[in-house]
Each structure stands twice: as C-alpha cells, then as structure tokens.
Structure 1
Amino acid sequence: CELGPTMVIYPEGVWYTYSSEADIDEILARHVLGGELVDRLLLEPGQTRPRRTDPPRLTLKVADVSLTAPAVKRFVLRSPDGSDLPAYLAGAHIDLFTESGLRRSYSLVGDSADRGQYVLGVRREEDSRGGSSWVFDQLSTNSEVTASVPRNSFALAADATMHTLIAGGIGITPILAMGHELKARSEDYHLHYCTPSEVETPFLEEVRSVFGPRVTFHHDGGDPAKGLDVQALLAESVPGQHIYVCGPASLVESTRLHSSHWPEAAFHSELFAVEPVIDEPPNEAFDVFLSRQKITLSVPTERSILEVVRDAGVVVETSCEDGLCSCCRTRLLGGEADHRDHVLSSAEKLANESIMICVSRATNGETLILDL
C-alpha cells in the first residue's frame, strides 16, 4: 500500500510506480511505444516505499532556427550525438531551462513519429518574464540547451469519432502536432485556425501541408468579433465529437462557454496565460502535512503551498506557477483541495488525488496531506 499505484508491463514483467497521468503517458510513450525503460519510475525488487528521484534532463542542440511569422520562431532541437529522443504523444510539451534559472514550457509542434527531433514554436511576448526573450536572443543554430523530457496534459481522446480543433495564433503549436497524429491515424478531424491575417499566421505552410482541406482559416484583422463564430460552430452537440482549443484566454473561455451543453469530457483546452480573476473569494489559512518529511506547515492567506514548502527547504519542480503547466503536480494523500488550476479535468478534481501546489489550496477547515 505504501507504494501507491503501480503498473506492470507484460510480457517483460517490468514494474513501475507513478503519481500522475503525465507519468503514465511517459511510460506508455517511452516503454510501450518506444521500447525503452523509464528508469526514474522503475520499482526495484523488495522496494516498499516510493523514492524521490531527480527528474531526467536532456541536453539538446539547436539544429535550425527560422522565422515562421512576425515575432514567432521555429526551433528544431536534436540530440548532440544524433540518437533518438524520448517518445511523446501529440499535445505534449517540454520545458527549457534558461541560464538565469528560469524554466519555461513550450509545446511540441512536429510529428511525434519522428524520434530524431523536437520542433518548437516560440512567440516573443512583449511582457515576457524572461523565457521567450531568452529563447529569441540566446538560442541560435548549434546552441545547446537543457530540457525536460516531454509531458502531456492535452492529449487526444482515444474514444473520439470526430476531432474539432480550434487554435488561436501561437496556440497552433500543440494543435499542429495533433494534426500530424490524426492524419497518420486516418481519423476524422477539422481545424479552425484564428489569426489576424495570413502573414501573421504561424506555421502557415506546414498547417496547409498537414491539414489540406481539413482546415478553415479565420483572419479577423485583429478584431476577434470578425473571426470565428464559436457559438455557431458548437451550437449542436455531436455524440462522439471532441473539442480541442488552444490560444488566448478569451478564445478558450468562449469555446468553454459555448460548449457548456456538450458532455464535459468532450472539452479539452490548454492555456498559455491566465486572465486576472475578478471577485475571487478571500483565501483562508490552512495546514499541510508533508508525509515524507513528517512535518506540518501552516499556509497563511497571502502565500501559496509552494512558497511555504520551498521555505521549509523542500525542493519542488516548478515552471509557470500559474496552474497551467502541471510541473508542480503533487500527489494528494488526504484532505479536500480547492482546485484552482487549469490542468486537471473536472473528473480529476473530483477524484482529489493530486494538486497543483502553486495555486490550489485547501477547502475550509481541511488539512492537506501531501506526498512530499
């Protein structure tokens, strides 16, 4: 019981432990599909408790850099020795680590069947917190960069009979990877791609090549009201059809609103930034118990679990710290959480088995027990 959930892969009889869907995706992609062991999640003979391990890191070399739209660059990353890279499924992302210690997530754009390279699309943000500006200014052909292995919080639904894809601007990055995968599977799909104009459309030629007649471009001249009519597109709930949206928060929320009469499990989204929350209820102070450390910490109203845990000297992997990337996802062993992230599905929040400690808190009167 102390090991928590485990998985065994037959016919090899290889045992794994895992604590998140991202771990499961990694096992399926790297072991089942790629034929390689996921060392960090392996169970050893006689092991009775999960062990804390340093997450794997990749050293990647920039093979090519090109401009795919104004302020958007396409980066091709490869292993320095030309070996295959860890496998991934469409919708995945990797984190890049900057020289100043920042960690930033970028979606994988290319064909997941190509194990020789990772392709990223990065937009220089005017209000960059150091990630996109560093990528633009510091990474060039032959540069080396440290990255995480791929993780996925935005995967294609296995049970869908039709995939409706909606992308806004740089939000095309995970959607384009989905197009590669759906085309290879010969599944039914269609992309609605929203940008201000043709010249401001990232990956335009690649989108045309991958999607062909299965794409509709919506150029709005900078006024979203003149672009895609989301309400009309999603007016009728179609059994078996799933919706995937990535782009500005306004597009994601509009799609969420106008698909509210669809089955909840049919809606999938990924955000790159969050809008300020208006009229957010006041925080309450609460306690967390760190099961591995055997200590109880108090989380005051003005601080996050992550900040308090850091101050206690416990190292936790983080990236966005806005509840968007799943990097700080932590197994929840007890207590009811107030989930405020944008990663977990409603079903996952209801299951209450994990928590994004950068933004989520405890419900009133609860003490959270964390696998830390």
Structure 2
Amino acid sequence: MKDSQQLVVSEVLQATARIRRFVLRHPQGDALPAFEAGAHLDVSIPLATGDLAVRSYSIASSPADCSHYLLGVLREDAGKGGSAAMHGRVQAGQLLTCSLPKNHFPLVPESPHYLLVAGGIGITPILSMVRVLAAQARTFSIHYCVRSADDAAFVDELKALAGDKLTLHCDGGDPTRGVDLDLLLRNAPAGADVYVCGPRGLNEAVIGAARRAHWPDERIHFEFFGAAAPADGDAAFRVVLQQSGQTVEVASDESILDALIRQGVEPIYDCKRGECGLCATTVIEGEVDHRDYVLSPDDKTSRKQMCVCVSRARCGDLTLDL
C-alpha cells in the first residue's frame, strides 16, 4: 500500500448487533495526519488464510481532533471476509497498516443548507460532517434511515450534536415505509446541497429524487460503499490495450480494472465504485456500458472516456488507450 501508516487499535466497542467501533491511534501517541469530513482510510486486514484484504472505511471522528480516527465497521455476512475479519480477528493493541486519509466526499465550504441523508453504516462520514457543521453553527438537517432503532449506530452522539435537526427513519426493512425522498428534496431550502451515503438503493433513490426536483448535479454529493456488484446478464469480453498491444480477457463477474491488475497492468485508480474518476480512460474503439457516477452525460454520449472500475463493453470488445 502506497503512502501507508501503521496505526494501533486502541479501542474496540460494539455499537449495534452488527456494527463495531474501532479507535485507531499513532503507536507513539503522536498526532495523526489531518483529514476533512467525508474522508476514509484504506485498511489492510489480516484474514484467517494469512492473506490481506484491503477495505475502505470512512472516518467518523472530528477533523478538529487528530489524536485518533474513529471507524465504524458493519459485519457483512455475505461479504468476502474483510468485515468478518475486522469483527472476529482485530483486537485492541493490534497494529494495522492503513493509507493516509483520502476524500472523494468533501463538504463544500459554503452552502445555505446542508441536507444530510444516511442509510445504515453510511452514517460514518455523515457523522464527521455533523461534527464539523455543528461546531461551525452551520444550517443543516440529517435524516438517518435504518431498519429499526436498534440498528442506529452513533445515535446518541448524533442526538447530542444535532438535536432536533436529526430525524430517525425506521422502515422495518420496507423502503416504502421510509422517508419520502421526493417530498424531502422538493421542500429543501433553496440552494441547499444534499449529501447521501448508504446502500446503493438509497443513494440512487436520493440522486433520482434530486434530479426529478431539478437539483443541479454540482449540489448532489454521494458516496457508495463497496465495489459495484456484477449485473445480471453481464458477459465476458476482451480489452485491447492500444499502447502495449496486449489483449486482456475480462470475465463476466470481474471489472476491467480487476482484469488489468490480474494481468500486471496498474492504471491509476482509487474508489472502485465509479465515483472518483481517477481510473477514467480514453476509449479508442468499442461501445461502452457506462455505470459510473462521475462522467457527465456529454462525456458518456461522446464515448471518448470510461471508468474502468465499473463500466463495461456494451457489446463486442473494447480498445483502450493503455
């Protein structure tokens, strides 16, 4: 891992039945590298197999306090083992290799109102934002969507920070019983910025509601968790690398990025979710099925670029400027 740091786990606490709080500090007690609300760490997690899994976790603590980083980790029973290892193997006193803080989900410096929407473990970057906005006496509201009150991590801290600005939405697992997003976005204060972090369905619902309410894209901010899952009907295809002449086979259940890495090609990338745009690559030939959230409609229509972490060939093969 490039630009890494060794951090010690100073505290592990159960926040809910499936979420644990991890407090990370410098081994010698020094101040940690600064970060802004919305930032995350890439954490190398030791698996039972002896391998390392790298997972990204948002920092939930205050940027004003660099004595520690607070993380919240949801145990994903159907995941690939990273969160299970964090819950089952990582203990207080253990050293972890982590990246420096990265941020693809920053607060804009000036907004007449910050509308914050979190779903489940998506509360972690939102909590850091609430800490900043409350300390600066900024105008904001927060809507926290969970299955039940027992699933709401960090809720006591949120209540203390946000007071009546916090609304907890418990839908019992039925999204139709949750917050009316169309109403929420239509009635938001003029010029507001919306920030959403949660499951893919919630994020896409908020983005859709904002666009139906004619919000400009620059005022819609979001972060997804986890790499994009393969879609039903995805097929294998080939990618020809124009610069090297190499041909890379992309399986139906892997991304172009993962296929490139498997073949020893290392393009610049970070999020693996189609959000940051670092992996955007020039398309020489082929039809692209765009699945990212960062390229503009004009970019996608021009077919000149694609985000190789999530987008695929619509049909046939692709030739990329790599």
Compute the TM-score of the two structures, normalised by the length of structure 2. 0.83
Q: Give unpaired runs (5+ residues) of structure 2.
A: none
Q: d(CA) in 2 for partners of 1:275 and 1:308? A: 15
Q: d(CA) in 1 for partners of 2:268 and 2:54? A: 9
Seen in structure 2, the aligned counterparts of structure 1 residues 123 and 163 have a Cα distance that, compared at 3 Å, is: same
The residue identity in structure 1 corresponding to 2:223 is E
- Does the 8 Å contact 2:61/2:70 carry over to 1? yes
1:367 aligns with 2:316: no
Q: 2:45 aligns with which of 92, 98, 101?
A: 98
- Does the 8 Å contact 2:288/2:303 carry over to 1? no
1:78 aligns with 2:25: yes
Percent identity reads: 33
The residue identity in structure 2 corresponding to 1:94 is L
Q: 2:240 aligns with which of 282, 287, 308?
A: 287
The residue identity in structure 1 corresponding to 2:127 is L
Instruction: Specify the SS of the correspondent of 1:134.
Output: helix
Q: CA deviation at 1:168?
A: 1.0
The residue identity in structure 2 corresponding to 1:221 is G
- Does the 8 Å contact 2:275/2:294 carry over to 1? no
The residue aligned with 1:137 is 88
Q: d(CA) in 2 for partners of 1:235 and 1:207? A: 25
Q: d(CA) in 2 for partners of 1:264 and 1:117? A: 34
- Does the 8 Å contact 2:38/2:59 carry over to 1? yes
Seen in structure 2, the aligned counterparts of structure 1 residues 90 and 79 have a Cα distance that, compared at 3 Å, is: same
Q: d(CA) in 2 for partners of 1:102 and 1:319? A: 15
Q: CA RMSD in A?
A: 3.1
Q: CA deviation at 1:354?
A: 7.8
Q: 1:165 aligns with which of 116, 122, 128?
A: 116
- Does the 8 Å contact 2:250/2:256 carry over to 1? no
Instruction: Specify the SS of the correspondent of 2:42.
Output: strand
Map 1:1-372 to 2 at 5 A: 55-99=2-46, 100-236=51-187, 238-260=189-211, 261-273=214-226, 274=228, 277-278=231-232, 285-290=238-243, 295-300=244-249, 302=251, 304-315=255-266, 321=272, 323=273, 329-330=278-279, 332=281, 335=284, 338=288, 340-342=290-292, 344=294, 346=296, 356-361=307-312, 367-370=319-322
Q: CA deviation at 1:352?
A: 9.0
The residue identity in structure 2 corresponding to 1:358 is C
Listed one character per residue, the Cα deviations across residues 73-117 of structure 1 (whole Å, up to 9, x for unaligned) are 111000101112111111111111122121111111110121111
Seen in structure 2, the aligned counterparts of structure 1 residues 107 and 115 have a Cα distance that, compared at 3 Å, is: same
Seen in structure 2, the aligned counterparts of structure 1 residues 148 and 140 have a Cα distance that, compared at 3 Å, is: same
- Does the 8 Å contact 2:292/2:307 carry over to 1? no
Q: d(CA) in 2 for partners of 1:325 and 1:101? A: 24
Instruction: Specify the SS of the correspondent of 1:114.
Output: coil
Q: Give unpaired runs (5+ residues) of structure 1.
A: 1-53
Instruction: Specify the SS of the correspondent of 1:147.
Output: strand
Q: CA deviation at 1:132?
A: 0.4
Q: CA deviation at 1:242?
A: 1.1
Compute the TM-score of the two structures, normalised by the length of structure 1. 0.73
The residue identity in structure 1 corresponding to 2:240 is D
Seen in structure 2, the aligned counterparts of structure 1 residues 354 and 86 have a Cα distance that, compared at 3 Å, is: farther
Instruction: Specify the SS of the correspondent of 2:128.
Output: helix
- Does the 8 Å contact 2:74/2:83 carry over to 1? yes
Seen in structure 2, the aligned counterparts of structure 1 residues 178 and 346 have a Cα distance that, compared at 3 Å, is: farther
Q: CA deviation at 1:62?
A: 0.6
